[in-house]
Structure 1
């Protein structure tokens, strides 16, 4: 935690006088430093301005630094959550207003949900990943429910997380758990990349599957006319040819976990608008890819034929 003050030559206005210990302690009752500082700023006509200076650390131990400026005073605070960092910054500013160093007054401790001392409280990897994307200037993460299977009492979900061309998958017994797992895996993959890394970006596409209804090109016409039930068909190749003709991309994502029946799992993701994700299984990775491509082709065929 640090404190910054402008040169003495730039005097504060009479309204920006220092606060006495009595004034702070009286205002303190039942209030947080943020609330007290807000009331002080309202009185002098200068609302406190909070800015997040830095967000770093690993998913299980995030670290935030916030600065607060009110009048001629600027202080910073550090915490394992945004709320805690702002609390510390406001506390530091109140100490300056009292005319003491930034760590003299003892305010009640604020609840810090991301503090490492409480293992029961886990940080939110979805929010942390989003902040990382913003810091690096990348597009925000996109999540898609890729698979939902299993009996009612033992459901299985797979959710994909995509940032530019990076794709990771998370699994869980609910969509929420699977989404958090996907964000954790993605964050672990990206956090060690240098900030200057020029990652391959996913080209923006406005291609919508509905546009296939009026298309008369060769591959989509064949898909509309022919059934998708011919044995030993290479659906991966068929999908590759169709995607090249229509101008969208197909990415196959292997899921590490096997199904409850011991089969391999794969996702076929189409870079359409919105993104399309289809699930496939098989006795081998290749069979799972082919099954996922088959499911994707069935969906594309349905969209192309629907009036």
Structure 2
């Protein structure tokens, strides 16, 4: 095998027709063992976890051993680079899981192993994936909340928010379960986007606890403590953005489609503090509603930051 692990392992069991030995030789392995195992983990809700067991050898001839664990399978791989060792570990796991590296339908194996019908391959268990990811990384578990319900009884639509660490994503579905899954799908896509690849490597920023604001002497929080929040035409959105940048938390605005009984627009603002802060705002336009929501959040943070 080449060092990057892209070639298939030699076939040690020519009688086993599942290995596709009778097919014409052609470059069918367009994905590496790591990629195939990761896709298996995505579809089954159990992402593989790699750990380096040993690094030894001289600088010009290093040697690495990596372990991979997925479901109840553990495998080790040895190589002259970390990448090669991970590829060999993934290759061993694929072999134990009886996954053909040229097969696209391999994740169906898990459904048969426990006698329970699995989800179709194009509908991965994103809710389970997020929960497993949080447990593996030591993150707070994902939180889901229904922002709103709309539509007639026979065509209800549920808008659900998924929160994970400092991130949040919102999606809609024709049931709470469908909305929850759609939000989880978007969260996984965001994590992959922030990682820059299919393998999630994103690391959350430390979240600010509300009680920590009481002892902060930074410029923006000090200005908030002594400033009245009743000056007309103030850009509270900008004020909140500057405070968030200083105190290291995220701000997200969610426009609500349904108008108030008075015909005004509605908006929710969410701060990724610990605990999470959510405030409501209304206005004659979406922009006004967002500004009002930011104003409400600033008032709340001011109170929390001023308590002795």
- Give the TM-score, by structure 1 length: 0.50
Q: Which has more radius of gyration?
A: 1
- Give the TM-score, by structure 2 length: 0.49
